[in-house]
């Protein structure tokens, strides 16, 4: 059984989270710039067995796709050409950034640490992956 990998795709950088090999626990892995994402995934997929990539699906409050969805569709096309065998599923990511920020507050992070947008992206990817796991195990 391989890991699941989640990507919180943003306009500048992407938060990445993974599960353990038994697909039970989601953990934040890293944050990479959009330009580094495909090379990072190439290297990661060589080192680890990944069964599925979960890609956040950002929507507005009314359910329509957010502006970054255009960029995500371009990324999906590039991803599919680089990794044609890899499965990709989408997961609603509404409010994950707010939940990530609240998680940082609840975790006792200082104000300066909470300004780290890369940390918010990594936590958001973890929340996306946890939501996906809950949806598919219940």
**pLDDT value at position 123?**
83
**pLDDT value at position 60?**
79
**pLDDT value at position 99?**
61
Residue 94 has pLDDT above 70, yes or no: no
Q: Residue 130's Cα: distance from chain center in Å?
A: 10
**pLDDT value at position 129?**
94
22-74 residue pLDDT tens: 999 999 999 999 999 999 999 999 999 999 999 999 887 787 888 889 999 99
**pLDDT value at position 55?**
96
Domain that holds residue 69: 3-137
Interatomic CA distance for residues 64 and 24, integer angstroms: 31
Q: In what order do the strands lie in the sheet with 3-9?
A: 26-33, 13-19, 3-9, 50-57, 87-92
Number of domains in the chain: 1
**pLDDT value at position 87?**
95
95-109 residue pLDDT tens: 565 665 566 556 666
**pLDDT value at position 120?**
77
In this structure, what CATH number is given to the domain that contains residue 57?
Answer: 3.30.420.140
75-89 residue pLDDT tens: 999 999 999 999 999
Yes or no: say if 119 and 104 are a contact pair by the CB < 8 Å rule.
yes
Confidence band, pLDDT 50/70/90 cuts, at residue 14: very high
């Amino acid at each position: 059984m391989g890991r699941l990998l989640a990507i919180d795709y943003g306009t500048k950088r992407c938060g990445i989270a993974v599960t353990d090999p038994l697909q039970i626990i989601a953990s934040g892995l890293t944050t990479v710039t959009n330009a580094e994402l495909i090379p990072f995934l190439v290297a990661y997929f060589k080192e680890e067995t990944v069964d599925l990539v979960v890609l956040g699906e950002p929507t507005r409050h009314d359910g329509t796709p957010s502006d970054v969805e255009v960029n995500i569709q371009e990324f999906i096309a590039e991803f599919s050409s680089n990794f044609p065998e890899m499965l990709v599923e989408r997961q609603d990511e509404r409010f994950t950034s707010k939940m990530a920020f609240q998680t940082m507050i609840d975790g006792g992070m200082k104000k300066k640490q909470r300004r780290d947008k890369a940390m918010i992206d990594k936590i958001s990817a973890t929340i996306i992956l946890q939501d996906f796991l809950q949806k598919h195990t219940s």
